[in-house]
Structure 1
Amino acid sequence: MTAPSMVPTELLDWWRRGEEQLSMALDRLTEAGFSAPSLLPGWPRAQLLAHVAGNADALVNLLTWARTGVETPMYASAEARDAQIAETAALAPAELRAEVIAATGRLAEAVRTMPEVAWSTQVRTAQGRRVPAAQVPWMRCREAWVHSVDLDAGLLFDDVPENVLAALTDDVFRMWRMRDQEPDVVVIAGDREWGRGPLAVAGPLPAVTAWLTGRSTGQDLKADSALPKLPAWL
């Protein structure tokens, strides 16, 4: 009997498509547009792109850990992470664009060189959670797809594949449950349902995911009463 593959094939496919979407958003930005606000309050596009680049390198660290067995944290510290984002965000637009592309390439190379057995190695996220390296593509997938929308370059949650939207919604509820912060709501999108509670909230899956991830006020949703204030996702 053949053992099941440890390679996270579906997650890798979602990740690759997410990087293509992020690249599309980046290509749409003019140099002058780098200093404009993103859709994340308090985050100019340049700062968000610096975070995207730094996140790629941080995930390379986790794959290096999994491949070599040498503990390699995502970031040396929260302070080091913030300092690196500030430094990268201060680059000229052309240099910042090149750094995002280069960091994405470094991550792609780290994925390409991963031995199959290494995908099962336990690594640690920046929040201290122990996860198999097979979850790293998902960690980048959600960054790529969501931040491609956050860049405010004309891409929307409607442009995200339905299975990725559903996985993002799963991720939101999983994070809330881990922190014992799950709100008392049941969320319905088509034939999919998440959560439990006396308040029912329904709408198209892109609108549901945008609300749950903090990217909308829920104006496109229907509910039995006023929508609650949601806990942070990440």
Structure 2
Amino acid sequence: MSARTHADSLMWVEHGTGLFVTQAALLDEPAMTQPSILPGWTRKHLVAHVAANAEALGNLVHWARTGERTPMYSSAEQRNADIEAGAKLSATELQTWLNRAVHTLSGAMDALTADDWQTEIVTAQGRAVPATEIPWLRAREVCVHAVDLGTGTTFADLPAEFLTALIADIRAKRGLDEVPGGPLPEVAAYLSGRPHTLADVADLGPWL
């Protein structure tokens, strides 16, 4: 596993959020309705997902701060319904929601104390982890989905240290004994199921 730190994850959240929000702000209504890199999702679906994810992770931050059990989502069905509803909003409404959600999450994380960060919370996948994992969960979302917007950002635009941590994370979750050689951004793209330039590798399917 990568030796990423809590400080690393917080830094990557800021970097990825800047990338995603800046690109989303440039999308007008026609551009927002175009397909994203993720099959079956428009850019509207993607922006709605990233905004909703900020709110969901805010539930975990609340859990860490108060000790009150507040799951990310009430159910997988509700999560999907919220994304579909968000995809029907206008580009302006989506951008407003996104900006509000990321600002609220950032402020909530900034307010956590050192003890709060050690509170055990449970992810949407049912993993019990310390709250220090919340920034890593968010960093993956904003960094990878900044690429998925399909507006020109690639894995090569993400910090090398983040890519190293991402590769280690995906490798562990996929149960891979080894990963193919190649440029770091291309390996990360391949393992996450995104377009890549690696040759003679098996299709792993989508991740995240």
In the superposition, the TM-score normalised over structure 1's length comes to: 0.83
Q: 1:211 to 1:55 in 2, by over 3 A?
A: same
Q: Once the two structures are aligned, what percentage of the paired residues are identical?
A: 43
TM-superposed deviation, 1:30: 2.2
Q: Name the counterpart of 1:230.
A: 204
Q: Name the counterpart of 1:19.
A: 17
Task: Deviation per CA, 1:187-220: give whole Å up to 9, x if none.
Answer: 2xxxxxxxxxxxxx2211011100110002x4x2
Amino acid at match of 1:79: E
Q: Name the counterpart of 1:190.
A: none
Q: Which runs of 4+ in 1 moved over 6 A?
A: none
Amino acid at match of 2:198: L
TM-superposed deviation, 1:82: 1.1
- CA distance in 1: counterparts of 2:79 and 2:117, whole angstroms: 25
TM-superposed deviation, 1:232: 4.5
Task: Say which SS state the counterpart of residue 194 (structure 2) adopts.
Answer: coil
Amino acid at match of 1:221: L
- CA distance in 2: counterparts of 1:55 and 1:169, whole angstroms: 21
**Residue in structure 1 matching 2:181, options 202, 207, 212:** 202
Q: Name the counterpart of 1:211.
A: 190
**Residue in structure 2 matching 1:88, options 81, 86, 104:** 86
Q: Pairwise mapping of residues 64-103 of structure 1 onto structure 2 (< 5 A)?
A: 64-103=62-101
Amino acid at match of 2:98: V
**Residue in structure 1 matching 2:59, options 42, 58, 61:** 61
Unaligned runs of 5+ in 1: 1-6, 188-200
RMSD: 1.5
Larger Rg: 1
Tell me: higher relative CO, structure 1 or 2? Use CA pairs within 8 A at least 6 residues apart.
2
Amino acid at match of 1:155: T
Task: Deviation per CA, 1:148-183: give whole Å up to 9, x if none.
Answer: 010011111110110011111011012123xxxx3x
In the superposition, the TM-score normalised over structure 2's length comes to: 0.93
Task: Deviation per CA, 1:38-85: give whole Å up to 9, x if none.
Answer: 000111110111100100000000010011000000001111111111
**Residue in structure 2 matching 1:221, options 188, 198, 202:** 198
Q: Name the counterpart of 1:158.
A: 156
Amino acid at match of 1:142: R
- CA distance in 2: counterparts of 1:205 and 1:112, whole angstroms: 31
Amino acid at match of 1:228: A
